[in-house]
Amino acid sequence: MKILVCISSVPDTTSKINFTADHSAFDKTGIQWVINPLDEFALSRAVQLQASAGAIVTVINVGDATTEPVIRKSLAIGANDAIRVNLEPKDSYQTAKEIAAVAKDGAYDLILCGKESLDYNGGSVPGMLAQLLDLPFVNAAVGLEINNGEATAIREIDGGKETISVKLPAVLAGQKGLVEEKDLIIPNMRGIMTARSKALNVVEASAVSPKVDAVSFESVPTRAAVKMVAADNLDELVRMLHEEAKVI
């Protein structure tokens, strides 16, 4: 079984987000980049299948050379090899098209993604990818088993969970719960050293134009200072909620 895991490089959640002086682009100065956390759940499940079912795991990233440390971490976690599409994508469509172009030639049995990246939170790449490849798609999966050419996934829905079975090949987007957090794989020294010798293949992007162009970025407004109200001063609290916060 061949598994392709889509990896996104995102800013660490502790990073301070700034934009360029003209607000036309994200300022990458001083940013620490990590594997998108939801992609880590997908990758860890793929490595588990590697151990239990002999799967061959390939990771793919659409990005420029600055994403290679994140890709190497994916190899240290346990992926067999990696592909980097040499492009800084501008939108989800462009990303999905580039992954689909590689996947069509790879004869993968299963394509795993995080359900969304934690920078843009678009959540559209996995579904687009499935549509472009004309494959079954399961979103928001919190469980996955593979048996006899069929994937059985558990996904969250309003008010509960449902179990879905699809024939392989298929695309599945996972989220927290796809593996237990304690089972997320942390690279050890052996994995880090081994990752240096694993293949990282760079392919040039196809001529796919994005559908969306970012015009400008704005920072979240700074929160106002906290105002303390005495516990017994309910009239003042009501006045502030009505006149200042304007929530009542």
Q: Which residue shows structure tokens 């490849």?
A: 133
161 Cα distance to chain centroid: 22
The answer to whether residue 45 sits within a structural domain is yes
The answer to whether residue 185 sits within a structural domain is yes
Per the CB < 8 A criterion, the answer to whether 120 and 238 are in contact is no
The answer to whether residue 115 sits within a structural domain is yes
The answer to whether residue 118 sits within a structural domain is yes
Q: How many domains does the chain have?
A: 1
Q: What mean pLDDT comes out for the span 141-163?
A: 94
The answer to whether residue 242 sits within a structural domain is no
The single-letter code of the amino acid at 110 is: L
Q: Which two tokens stand for residue 227?
A: 């105002």
Q: Between 37-53 and 68-77, two packed helices, what is the crossing angle to 10 degrees?
A: 40
Could you tell me the CATH number of the domain that includes residue 184? Answer: 3.40.50.620
Is residue 120 very low, low, confident or very high in pLDDT (cuts 50, 70, 90)?
Answer: confident
pLDDT tens column, 60-94? 999 999 999 999 999 999 999 999 999 999 999 99
The answer to whether residue 231 sits within a structural domain is no
- Name the least confident of 5-9, 108-112, 119-123: 119-123
Quote the domain boundaries for residue 176.
Answer: 2-216
pTM listed for this prediction: 0.86
**CA distance linking residue 242 with residue 248, whole number of Å:** 5
Residue 160 phi/psi, 5° resolution?
Answer: 170, -150
Q: What is the DSSP letter of 13?
A: T
The answer to whether residue 188 sits within a structural domain is yes
Is residue 59 very low, low, confident or very high in pLDDT (cuts 50, 70, 90)?
Answer: very high
Q: Which two tokens stand for residue 108?
A: 């993968």
The answer to whether residue 230 sits within a structural domain is no
Q: Is residue 230 helix, strand or coil?
A: coil
Quick one: which of 69, 16, 77 has its CA closest to 51?
A: 77
